[in-house]
Amino acid sequence: MARSWAELLGDTGAAPEQGTQRVRLFSRLRESLGRSRRALAGELAAAVFDPRDDAGWERLEEVLLAGDVGVRATAELVRRLEAREQLGDLAAALAEEVAGLFGPPPTLDLGHQPAVILVVGVNGTGKTTTIGKLAARLAEHGRSVVVAAADTYRAAAEEQLEIWARRAGADVVGSQRGADPAAVAYDAVQAALARGRDVVVVDTAGRLHTQTNLMEELAKVRRVLAARLEGAPHETLLVVDATTGQNGVQQARLFRDAVGVTGVVLTKLDGSAKGGVAIPIAYELGLPVKLVGVGEALEDLQPFDARDYARALLGAE
Amino acid sequence: MFDQLGDALQRTLGDLRRRGVLDEEAISRAMREVRLALLEADVELGVVRAFVAAVRERALGAEVRRSLTPAQQVVKIVHEELTSLLGASDSRLAFSPRPPTTILLAGLQGSGKTTAAAKLALLLRKEGKHPALVAADLQRPAAVDQLVQLGREIGVPVYADERADPVAAARAGIERARLEGRDVALLDTAGRLHVDEPLMEELAAVRRAAKPTNVLLVLDAMTGQEAVRVARAFQERIDFDGVVLTKLDGDARGGAALSVRAVTGRPIVLASSGEKLDALDWFHPDRMASRILGMGDVLTLIERAEAAIEDEEKEELERRMLRGEFTFDDFLASYKLLRRMGPLQGVLRLIPGLGSRLEGLDEVDERQLKRVEAIILSMTPYERRTPHVIDGSRRRRIAAGSGTTVEQVNQLLHARRQMAKLLKTAGSGKMPRLPAGLAGDGLPGQGPPRPSATRTSKSKRKQRKRKARR
């Protein structure tokens, strides 16, 4: 079953999502992964799988590698499959193993007043767009949002965020270009407290994990948030582009080490990219995927559901 | 020794004795490592397959050079193949005889087009051109704002049309560049998915309208297996001339570059490494090859290869010493190394743990050492290897050939035996590992090591014990 926003946000009191809505969510995800699904399904279906056939295993490996799952995680998945007594339907078995790697269904920890979400990642992954979509969803589910324009480096970053915030109906707290991002984050929390807002979402500048001084800057933003509000940030989301290769693992590792990541947002899944790098990120670093981006429109953000992801990815129904 | 691939190859092939030719089995093992390394570098699966096949062909039957181990030989071939594949004879921009030269930048969302456009404008301006930036990304919120601000920073005019149509905006921008006497017009377009049919069609339309002199695909260096699909799609729709590889200041290995080059045949033209606007360079294939392989410089490779030879020789020497086999060849080799290290006395004193054992040794006489060298060089190779065959007549011959006396030759032979014994004891754990070449203790020319003034020699202690036992 698709994961619903209510489940993601931990809204237990909310009425269960309409059947149609859930179907819509699932089919949206499937649709966007559809292109990848078709490609992969074709490859897997090309040969009926015989576990005694070495060439078959090799073929499976290739399909996973072609999806950016990476050498180590591919080997691990194959190992787990081989260890199973009954293989049965390969796609279903693989989906189960993949889901197993991702762990229990994720949630967003918003049980605070305000809840603070820090959004980080390398350049060009879609942080600002994701924040716009997230703010809109939160508003839809009854939360008031303040967005912090703490990307004080990039030209027109604040302007870009403002446009999204307007679409989502959220407040923006910003500063001038070149100002201290930690100060902006601080101000946003202050404003949320003063105005009684439910959620603060902090946008940060894209930065390569190899730029130690910038990672230090990010760590400072985190410290300032924690100092201003105990337990903040309650979520630190790393935005990862689905077309990223194995470097994604290194990104995740270093961001986790610098600021402590609680979850991954996998973006641009509406392309033909399979987003396979999410698997080694989960397997090697234990970082769950919480959200997936499936387009440039406001509504194109879905809660991550491992089984749906795996099944859609591999062409299983 | 090496990074990643080098290490892996060293593990697989390093144990092989040097052979004349790389055999098939060794090559197969090596190719598995190469395949893994390239996959981990995000090179596309099909490209890896083809590349490995090509390298295998070259490696089979390749003469193994004495100066490189089989592992290094394979790495060298791989690196050369990679470099030649990545390198291009035509990796520059074309300039139109009728200005403005138009450069269209296209690519996926987030690949770094806008930053690249600004950087390229700055680069061209520094080279004496008069560029203008044309904002044809009307999709992304504040994209035009961003370009305008960047333009202001680098002192390049930005033409932004209020119309919502990128085709019209492009046309208008180029026309304006022409009217204002700009000789280069850089078109920044919206990022788009290669599978987004309407947007790809729009891009094709922009290209048709702009009639660019150069079309550049902007590609993020951390792109994974997708790179080939993306490149093919863009090539089909807009037939780009070259690639701008971005975000190279990260640690992504950048295999996508190889994939795109291999599959489309288009060269990498520019390499962008950093958010600062001056961080754009013309592309260097050999540096990229090293990066994809996960190796350092090739120069370092060669240096290390030489050092590796010395390491191997040292290890072999140590092994023999431990067995009590210390031949005159060894002595000569050690002696040469020792000499390279500067004045003997100073060096000997530096050896930790060894220093105390050398107590009581006279100061070393360089002339005596030269004599020793002469004696050894008068021996036949056989004699050097198997000193115990050196009988009376041989000794006479050696003495005559080196201008020394038989007595001096005797002394040297005796000293060698002592040395071998000493080294064998030393190697059995009672002393720290001997750095090679510094096994030249108990130097001949003076006879066996003089008994220490303060410490009782081993033989003396044994004698005493024997006496006491009786």
Measured between CA atoms, how close is B111 to chain A, in angstroms? 6
- How does residue A63 score in pLDDT terms, banded at 50, 70 and 90? confident
- The span from the CA of B394 to the CA of A89, in Å, is 82
The verdict on residue A313 lying in a domain is no
The verdict on residue A315 lying in a domain is no
pTM for this model (two decimals): 0.73
The verdict on residue A110 lying in a domain is no
pLDDT (0 to 100) of residue B158: 96
Q: What CATH number should be reported for the domain holding residue A201?
A: 3.40.50.300
- How does residue A96 score in pLDDT terms, banded at 50, 70 and 90? confident
Q: Which residues of A touch B253 (CB under 8 A)?
A: 246-247
Q: Are B442 and B414 in contact (CB under 8 A)?
A: no
Clarify whether residues A26 and A157 are in a common domain.
no
Clarify whether residues B18 and B67 are in a common domain.
yes
- The span from the CA of B82 to the CA of B85, in Å, is 5
Tally A–B CB contacts below 8 A: 128
The verdict on residue A137 lying in a domain is yes
Cα A52 to the center of its chain, rounded Å: 37
Across the strands, what pairs with A119? A203, A237
Clarify whether residues B122 and B237 are in a common domain.
yes
Joined tokens for residue B48: 């890896």
pLDDT (0 to 100) of residue B452: 45
Clarify whether residues A123 and A152 are in a common domain.
yes
The verdict on residue B94 lying in a domain is no
Q: Which residue of A has its CA nearest to B147?
A: A155
Total of domains in chain A: 2
- How does residue A48 score in pLDDT terms, banded at 50, 70 and 90? low
Clarify whether residues A81 and A124 are in a common domain.
no
Interface residue A42 vs chain B (CB under 8 A): no
Q: Are A277 and A125 in contact (CB under 8 A)?
A: no
Clarify whether residues B22 and B119 are in a common domain.
no
pLDDT (0 to 100) of residue B437: 38
Candidate from A65, A209, A274 with C-beta closest to B39: A65
Q: Which residues of A touch B236 (CB under 8 A)?
A: none
pLDDT (0 to 100) of residue A21: 42
> Which residues fall within 8 angstroms of residue B195, CB to CB, at 6 or more apart?
A35, A270, A271, A272, B233
What would the pLDDT profile of A170-207 be if each residue is shown by its tens digit?
Answer: 999 998 778 899 999 999 999 999 999 999 999 999 99
The verdict on residue B333 lying in a domain is yes
Show which residues on chain B lie within 8 Å of chain A, measured between beta carbons. Answer: 36, 39-42, 44-45, 108-112, 139-143, 145-146, 148-150, 153, 193-195, 220, 222-227, 229-230, 247, 249-253, 255-256, 275
pLDDT (0 to 100) of residue B360: 44
* Interchain contact, A245 vs B255, CB within 8 Å: yes
pLDDT (0 to 100) of residue A115: 97
Q: What is the largest CA-CA distance in chain A?
A: 66
Q: Domain boundary at B260, B293, B326, which?
A: B293
Residue B73 lies in domain:
4-86
Q: What CATH number should be reported for the domain holding residue B341?
A: 1.10.260.30
Candidate from A208, A250, A268 with C-beta closest to B247: A208
Q: How many CB atoms lie within 10 A of CB B179?
A: 9
pLDDT (0 to 100) of residue A43: 54
Q: Which residue of B has its CA nearest to A32?
A: B195
- How does residue A111 score in pLDDT terms, banded at 50, 70 and 90? very high
What would the pLDDT profile of A230-254 be if each residue is shown by its tens digit?
Answer: 999 999 999 999 999 999 999 999 9
Measured between CA atoms, how close is B178 to chain A, in angstroms? 27
- pLDDT surpasses 60 at A316: no
> Which of A244, A247, A272, A281 to probe by mutation at the B interface, max B CB count within 10 Å?
A247
* Interchain contact, A246 vs B40, CB within 8 Å: yes
Interface residue A246 vs chain B (CB under 8 A): yes
- The span from the CA of A173 to the CA of A155, in Å, is 17
Clarify whether residues A74 and A128 are in a common domain.
no
The verdict on residue A53 lying in a domain is yes
The verdict on residue A193 lying in a domain is yes
Clarify whether residues A160 and A262 are in a common domain.
yes
* Interchain contact, A156 vs B194, CB within 8 Å: no
Q: Which residue of A has its CA nearest to B150?
A: A155
Q: Which residue of A has its CA nearest to B45?
A: A66
DSSP B427: I
Candidate from B110, B148, B251 with C-beta closest to A247: B251
Interface residue A297 vs chain B (CB under 8 A): no
State ipTM: 0.83
Total of domains in chain B: 3
- The span from the CA of B449 to the CA of B354, in Å, is 14
Categorise residue B271: left if φ over 0, alpha if ψ from -120 to 50, beta otherwise: beta
A181: nearest Cα among A233, A224, A133: A224
* Interchain contact, A247 vs B153, CB within 8 Å: no
Q: Domain boundary at A38, A70, A102, which?
A: A102
DSSP B388: G
The verdict on residue B415 lying in a domain is yes
Clarify whether residues B135 and B204 are in a common domain.
yes
Residue A159 lies in domain:
115-305
The verdict on residue B93 lying in a domain is no
Clarify whether residues A96 and A212 are in a common domain.
no
pLDDT (0 to 100) of residue A317: 34
What would the pLDDT profile of A203-222 be if each residue is shown by its tens digit?
Answer: 999 999 999 999 999 999 99
Clarify whether residues A144 and A40 are in a common domain.
no
Rounded to an integer, the average pLDDT of A128-140 is: 95
Interface residue A71 vs chain B (CB under 8 A): yes
Could you tell me the end-to-end alpha-carbon distance of chain B, in angstroms, rounded to an integer? 56
Helices (H) and strands (E) in chain B, counts: 20, 8
The DSSP code sequence of A217-260 is HHHHHHHHHHHHSTT--SEEEEEEETTB-THHHHHHHHHHHHH-
> Which of A58, A217, A241 to probe by mutation at the B interface, max B CB count within 10 Å?
A241
Ordered per-residue pLDDT tens for chain B, 470 residues: 234 565 666 666 654 545 556 678 878 888 888 888 889 899 999 999 999 998 888 888 676 566 666 777 777 788 888 888 888 555 688 899 999 999 999 999 999 999 999 999 999 999 899 999 999 988 888 889 999 999 999 999 999 987 779 999 999 999 999 999 999 999 999 999 999 999 999 999 999 999 999 999 999 999 999 999 999 999 999 999 999 999 998 888 899 999 999 999 999 999 998 888 988 988 888 778 877 877 554 445 544 555 555 667 777 777 777 777 778 877 776 666 555 544 455 555 555 445 445 544 444 556 777 788 888 889 988 888 888 889 999 999 999 999 889 988 998 888 888 777 777 766 565 544 444 434 434 334 333 444 444 444 555 666 666 665 54
pLDDT (0 to 100) of residue B270: 93
Q: What CATH number should be reported for the domain holding residue A63?
A: 1.20.120
Q: Domain boundary at A102, A124, A152, which?
A: A102
Q: Which residue of B has its CA nearest to A209?
A: B250
Candidate from A71, A155, A209 with C-beta closest to B36: A71
Clarify whether residues A55 and A95 are in a common domain.
yes
pLDDT (0 to 100) of residue B429: 55
Q: Which residues of B touch A211 (CB under 8 A)?
A: 249
Joined tokens for residue A143: 């939360």
Q: What CATH number should be reported for the domain holding residue B15?
A: 1.20.120.140
pLDDT (0 to 100) of residue B467: 61
Omega of the bond leading into B100 within 30 degrees of 0 (cis): yes
